Amino acid sequence: MSDDKKDIKKLEEHFDGIIEHDHPLPNWWVATFVITVVFSIFYYGYYELLDGPTLDQELSVKMAEIEQQQKDSVGKAFDNLDQDVLKQEFIDKGKVVFAEKCFMCHGQQGQGLIGPNLTDNFWIHGNTSQNILHVIQKGVPEKGMVPWEAVLSAEEQIATVAFIKSLKGTNPPTPKAAEGTEYKD
C-alpha cells in the first residue's frame, strides 16, 4: 500500500504497525445516495401514508384513456358513412372483401344462398347504411350471420356497406326469395 496517494488521508490511529486509511467515497456517490434517501421519504409518504394510487389503479386509468381514444377514432371513421358508401373506391374495395368473406353465404353476386339476397328491396334488419353496417359489425349469431367487427378494419366495413348498397337492383340470376320487409326507397 503506497502512502503517496494524495486522496488517502492517514488517520491518527494505528495499532501494531497497521495504519488505518480514510478513503472517502466520491462526492457523486454520496450525492446519489442522499438523493435516493430523500426520494424514498417522499415516495413512502405519497404512496403509503397519503394513499397515492397503486400501479394497478394507474394502469386502469391509462387503459381507460386509451380505450376512449380508440373508441373516438373508430367512431369518427364512420362519421361520413352515407357519403363514403357512394364512393367508387369504397365500392371496389368492398367487392374484394365480399368475394373473400361473404360470398359463401350471400352468393358471388349477393343473390343470397344461406344468407339473404342483398340485391333486392327486402331487408330483415333495415336498408340504411347504418342498418347494414350494424349487421356487419355485430352479426346475427343466432341466425348464422357472423359478426365482423373484430375481423374487418373500419375502412373494410365501410367498403362492404358501399358494395352491398351498389348491388341494389342488379337482378342477378337465381336470386334467393325475398326475406324481411320491403323498402321502396
Which one of residues 109, 119, 129, 160 is an interface residue with ligand HEC (CB under 6 A)?
160
Number of residues that bind ligand HEC (CB under 6 A): 23
d(CA 59, CA 71): 18
Q: Which residues, at least 6 apart from 150, have a Cβ–Cβ distance to it below 8 Å?
A: none
Rounded to the nearest angstrom, the gap between the alpha carbon of residue 164 and the centroid of all alpha carbons in its chain is: 27
Q: Rounded distance, CA 133 to CA 149, Å?
A: 10
Binding of ligand HEC by 178 (CB under 6 A): no
Residue listed under C-alpha cell 349477393 = 110
| Closest CB to ligand HEC among residues 8, 78 | 78
C-alpha cell at 62: 391509462
Task: Determine if 110 is a binding residue for ligand HEC (CB under 6 A).
Answer: no
- The burial class, CB within 10 Å (0-12 / 13-18 / 19+), for 160 is buried
> In this structure, which amino acid lies at residue 65?
E
Determine, following the binding rule CB under 6 A, whether residue 91 of this chain makes contact with ligand HEC.
no
State yes or no: residue 105 binds ligand HEC (CB under 6 A): yes
Q: Is 104 in the site for ligand HEC (CB under 6 A)?
A: yes
Nearer to ligand HEC, 12 or 131 (CB): 131
Q: Does 136 bind ligand HEC (CB under 6 A)?
A: yes
**Contact between 95 and ligand HEC per CB under 6 A:** no
96 contributes a contact to ligand HEC by CB under 6 A:
no
Distance CA 180, CA 185 (A): 15
Which residues of this protein are in contact with ligand HEC, per CB under 6 A? 101-102, 104-106, 114-116, 123-125, 132, 135-136, 140, 143-146, 148, 160, 164, 180
